[in-house]
Each structure stands twice: as C-alpha cells, then as structure tokens.
Amino acid sequence: MRIHLVNPSDVSFGTAVITPRWLYVLAAATPRAYGDPVIIDETLEPIDLDRVSAGDVVGIGIHTSNALRGYEIGREARRRGAFVVFGGIHPTLYPEESRELGAAHAVVKGDGDLVWPAVLDDCRSGKPLATYEGGRVSGDRFTPARWDLLPADRYMWGSVQTLRGCPKHCSFCSVWRTDGQQPRQRAADAVIHEVVELRRLGFRFILLSDDNFYPVTLGDLRLAERQGNSARLAELKAIRAERFELMRMLAKLPADLVFYTQITMEAAEDPEFLKAMNQARIRGALVGVESVTPEGLKAVFKDFNCAGENLVTRLKEFRKHGVHILGSFIFGLPTDKPETFRATAELAQKSDIAFAQFVMLTPFPGTVDFAKWEEKMADDPTRIGGVPLTRYWLIPSHQRPRVYSPHPLLSADDIRAGTQSTWDRFYSVPAIWERARIVKSLKGRLLFLLISKLYRQMYANTGIATDSARVTRSRNWARLLLRPCRKLFVTTPMPELEIPV
Ligand code: B12
Ligand code: SF4
C-alpha cells in the first residue's frame, strides 16, 4: 500500500515559489511502517496517475480555488482502485462535496497532524470511516514537516508555521472561524529546529506561514489590565513572551536568512516588537490593508486598521524598522466608488510599501460575507454549466465570473477593469523603479524590478484577466522567469549547521 499526497493545480510551472507545507506535515505524520509517501505538487508538474495502483491511498489537500482539479484527481484515483482521502479547509467546510464529486472514501475535517495514522490504518484494513474529526491541534502537538523529502532545486522559499488561528474577525476571512480565535502557538525551539533544517538544505528565504504573527496587541494587554482580569493578562503576556523568545532565537541563526510573515498593522504601534522583528531578520510581511477608507474598513469588520493619512504613517513605521510590506487591498467593497482605484494606488505608492496585491472581493466559504451572500442569492436563478453562482468553485476556471456581489455603484466590469488598472499603475516600470530605492546597489534594484514583474505576472493577470490569450502569456512569462529567479533565492547548503543553544 503506497501513500500518495497530492497538491492539485491546473497550472504547472516546473519551479514553484513556496513549499506547500501541508504535504510535508502529512508526510511526517505518515508512520514509517508505510514507507515514504510519494509527494506530488502539481504546481511543479501534473500527477502521473499511472503510478497509482489498486489498494494505494491517495490523500488530496484542497482549498476552495483548487477543489475542482482535486475532485478530478480523486475520481481518477478511485477508478484505479485506490482509497481516496480528502483534507484541507474546503473539505472541512463541505465534506459531502468531496464524496459526491471527488469520489472520496474518507474526509478529514480540521488538522491532519494527529488523525492521519488512524486514517491509514483503517485504509489498510479496508474499512476507512466516512469522516475523521482532526480537530484543532494544540500548538505543542503540531507535527514538524519532513523537509528531507523535498525534491532538489524546485522551490525558492521554505515555509514554517509558528501558530494557527487569529483573534480578529474580519468578514471576508475564514481563518478565525475554522482555525479558531485562540492563537495556537508553537514553542520557539520547535520552529527553530525546522528553520535550521531548511537552512542546512540551502534555503535562505522562509515564509512564517501564520495567519497573524502578532496575536497579542498592546491594546489587548491594556484592556485585560483595565478589566482587572489577571488570568487573561497572564495568558496574553505568556503568548507575547514566547513571540519574543522565538525572535531572539531567530536572530542567532546565520545572517543570510530572511523571514517573511503575515501580520496586522497594529504591530506598527509596538516599537519593541518591530525592533525584535528587525533583529530576527523578519524583513517582510503581508499586511491586510483591505481598504483606504474608514467606511470600507467598517464594512469588513476591520476598524482596527487605519485609513487615509494615518494609514500612510502606520505603514511607514514598518519600513523605518526594516520590515518591508506587501500590502493587500480589496476592491469591490460596497463602499467603493469610481475614484477608489486611483486613490488606493496613490496611497499604496505613498506608504513606502515594497509590494502590493489588489484582489477583488470574493466570498470564500466559511466567512461571514459568504453566509450573507448565499442567503441573498437563494432565489437567484443564474447557472453556469448548470452550477449555481454560490458554488462558483465548481465552474471551470475559464468560465468562472471574477466578481460575485452586485455593487451599488460599479458594474462587474468596472471593478475588474479598475483592479487591473491599479495593478498596471502600481507595477509600471517607473513606479517600481521609484520603490526600488529601498535597495542600495544597482544590481539589487534590477533584482527588485525583476521580482516585482514576476510577482505581477504570477498573481495579477492570472487572477483577473478574462482574456485567455493574456492568461497564457502571463503564465509563459512566469514559467520563463521562475527558473533563473530560483537561483537568486537559494544558497550553498550548510549541512553542518547546529541548532543554537
Ligand atoms: C501560507 C498561505 C498561503 C501561501 C501558500 C504558500 C504555499 N505554497 O503553501 C500563499 C501566500 C501563496 C497563499 C496564497 C493564497 N491563499 Co492562502 N493561506 C496561507 C495560510 C496562511 C497558511 C497555509 C498553510 O501553509 N498552513 C499550514 C498547513 C500545515 O496547514 P493546512 O494547509 O491547513 O493543512 C492542515 C489541514 O488543513 C489538514 N490538511 C490539509 N490538506 C490535507 C490533505 C489530507 C489528505 C489530509 C488528511 C489533511 C489535510 O492537515 C494539515 C495539517 O494539520 C492559510 C491560512 C490557514 N490557516 O490555513 C491561507 C489560506 C489557505 N489562503 C487562502 C486564500 C484565499 C489564498 C489565495 C486565494 C489568496 C489570493 N486572493 O490570492 C491564494 C491562493 C493561491 C493558490 N492558487 O493556491 C484562504 C483559503 C480560503 C478557502 N476557503 O480556500 C486561507 C484559509 C486564508 C484565509 N484568509 O481565509 N496562501
Ligand atoms: S484577515 Fe487576517 S486579521 Fe482578519 S481574521 Fe483573517 S487572519 Fe485575522
């Protein structure tokens, strides 16, 4: 019985940017008695289904965007007599769908770290259960990934998770509902072990693949103090102390390591935290800016963010501490106006952020936005290929609409065109060149230009464009740029690197 773990994708680039962490966590959770699993990441190359035999187990991990491809693989694997098991955020929310469309024998809901061996044992005895409850594994029981199984020369960045869950409650995000609002944080040394292992292999760039690297704000501490809630205060202080411990230990690792994470902009109010990030060489972070207006922020339950000039000041604070920001903005909010696109691009340029992504509001399952939208759409008769819009992920990607919620002022085309033009403006050569002044050397600036263009090709055009020639062109460009780019990110392996004391 061979175990196959598959990360489905419609597009394969030969080289990929970030290691899909779940593959290597589940590989580590696979008992050694079953041998090393066959790991297939379709962002590198498509699965060869001829390698799947009757009685094998095929574990498929999907999120909403790649569910359709995952189902195709599931059906084909089952036809060949394999046991098909689905897991990941999408099956956690829609287990029945994986059974009906993906031919799943079993679905794992929640975290796979601890339940996976039981799934495999049941498959071996020919009796997998329909559903396994993986639950929310506590921070001290996360399974460290098996990086020894990484293929050589394929990825640019490693990925290490330091916590799961987020205390906020943004309306467009499912994390706080599926992963919980209580941060489940790993001890610093468990994280360090994995980072060292990746550096031994030659990885210099590491994504700390957390939802929110700053789970306790100064405001949370003040509130607990004001309420005289000493138990809560002690708990928050312990979480915060562990963060600092992690950053202190990261700072002791080889100087060529660079980390990147996701964080709320509240961290900009906390100079001590920013200083520790800088010392730990956390050089970049994705910040969910979402909207540049107070009304927009209110609409997505994110009023803890700043708008207008305050936003500029806050974002600049990261830069002052050497943390470069990838700002993430959403278009299509009910409060957006025709001038929002230009205003956002200007503010993004003014805020000294290094990169930006402009996404169109998408109701993801499991979110507050999705629940409201689904209710509103209950009587909508629209079907594409027989699929209702509220199950848009089942529509083949080239037919899938890009905008879902009707807007009071803007048509779907206005939103799509406005989003595309904001990408165009932000990633025009003169605008990139101006931002490239964060790098001192000419070579560094040229590299910044190249990476900006690559980022744009991989994310912007493929997500927004409806014209298939443009999509194909972008993918070909990305394919061409990825291989040489990889060499810029990885370095000489350090097999002898020790874990710092
Ligand atoms: C890191 C990350 C990224 C990285 C991915 C890098 C990489 N190569 O892995 C980047 C930045 C590229 C990214 C991009 C996007 N992401 Co993202 N991302 C995350 C994040 C923060 C962590 C994922 C992670 O690595 N977790 C660590 C692993 C170990 O956990 P895991 O994947 O959940 O797997 C566990 C279980 O789910 C389960 N499991 C998973 N698969 C399987 C399979 C089997 C067989 C079994 C048994 C169990 C199992 O076991 C695992 C171990 O416990 C999650 C948030 C989150 N909390 O999940 C969002 C998240 C997955 N992303 C999300 C989104 C929306 C996106 C984008 C669409 C954003 C955008 N607008 O562009 C793109 C999609 C890109 C693409 N086409 O795939 C959403 C997905 C929502 C949904 N319903 O699908 C999430 C949940 C965040 C959110 N705000 O809601 N993302
Ligand atoms: S968008 Fe970010 S801050 Fe908001 S709930 Fe999700 S992870 Fe937390």
pLDDT digits (tens, 9 = 90+) for 9-30: 998 989 999 999 999 999 999 9
- Testing ligand 2's pocket by substitution, the residue of 89, 161, 162, 173 carrying the most ligand atoms inside 8 A of its CB is 173
Judged against a pLDDT cut of 60, whether residue 464 lies above it is answered with no
Distances (CA, A) of 224 to 169, 180, 219, 236, 241: 19, 20, 9, 9, 16
- CA of 481 relative to ligand 2 center, distance in Å: 31
Q: Using the Cα atoms of residue 474, residue 475, residue 476 and residue 482 in order, give the sign of their dihedral.
A: positive
- CA of 129 relative to ligand 1 center, distance in Å: 25
The helix or strand, by DSSP H or E, that contains position 84, with its residue range, turns out to be strand 83-87
Identity (one letter) of the amino acid at 384? Answer: I
CB contact burial 333-371 (16+ within 10 A = b; e otherwise):
bebbeeebbeebbebbeebbbbbbbbbbbbbbbbbbbbe
Q: What is the pLDDT of residues 156-184, one digit of tens each?
A: 999 999 999 999 999 999 999 999 999 99
Backbone angles phi, psi at 140, to 5 degrees: -80, -5
Which atom of ligand 2 is the closest one to the Cα of 166? 8
- CA of 289 relative to ligand 2 center, distance in Å: 11
Q: What is the pLDDT of residue 185?
A: 96
Q: Ligand 2 atom 7: the closest Cα is on which residue? A: 211
Q: What is the pLDDT of residue 463?
A: 55
CA atoms within 13 A on the CB side of 13: 27
- CA of 63 relative to ligand 1 center, distance in Å: 7
Calpha distance 93→441 (Å, rounded)? 48
Q: What mean pLDDT do residues 316-345 have? A: 96
Binding pocket residue ranges, ligand 1, CB within 6 Å = 18, 20-22, 25-26, 59-61, 63-65, 85, 87-90, 108, 111-113, 116, 159, 161, 164, 173-175, 179, 209, 211, 359, 364-366
Quote the radius of gyration of the chain (alpha carbons, Å).
23
Of 64, 65, 55, 66, the residue nearest 6 (C-alpha): 66
Of 32, 179, 26, 190, the residue nearest 113 (C-alpha): 26
DSSP SS3 for 479: helix
Identity (one letter) of the amino acid at 278? Answer: N
Q: Ligand 2 atom 4: the closest Cα is on which residue? A: 170
Output the average pLDDT for the chain: 94
Calpha distance 243→162 (Å, rounded)? 9
Of 355, 360, 331, the residue nearest 343 (C-alpha): 331
pLDDT band (50, 70, 90) for residue 406: confident
Judged against a pLDDT cut of 70, whether residue 306 lies above it is answered with yes
Q: Confirm whether pTM is higher than 0.75.
A: yes
Binding pocket residue ranges, ligand 2, CB within 6 Å = 166, 168-170, 173, 175-176, 211-212, 264, 288
pLDDT band (50, 70, 90) for residue 133: very high
Distances (CA, A) of 482 to 14, 76, 155, 295, 338: 8, 30, 10, 39, 35
Q: What mean pLDDT do residues 315-319 have? A: 96
Q: Ligand 1 atom 6: the closest Cα is on which residue? A: 18
Query: What one-character DSSP code corresponds to residue 53?
Result: -
**Nearby residues of 83 by Cβ (< 8 Å), 6 or more positions away:** 55, 56, 57, 58, 105, 106, 123, 128
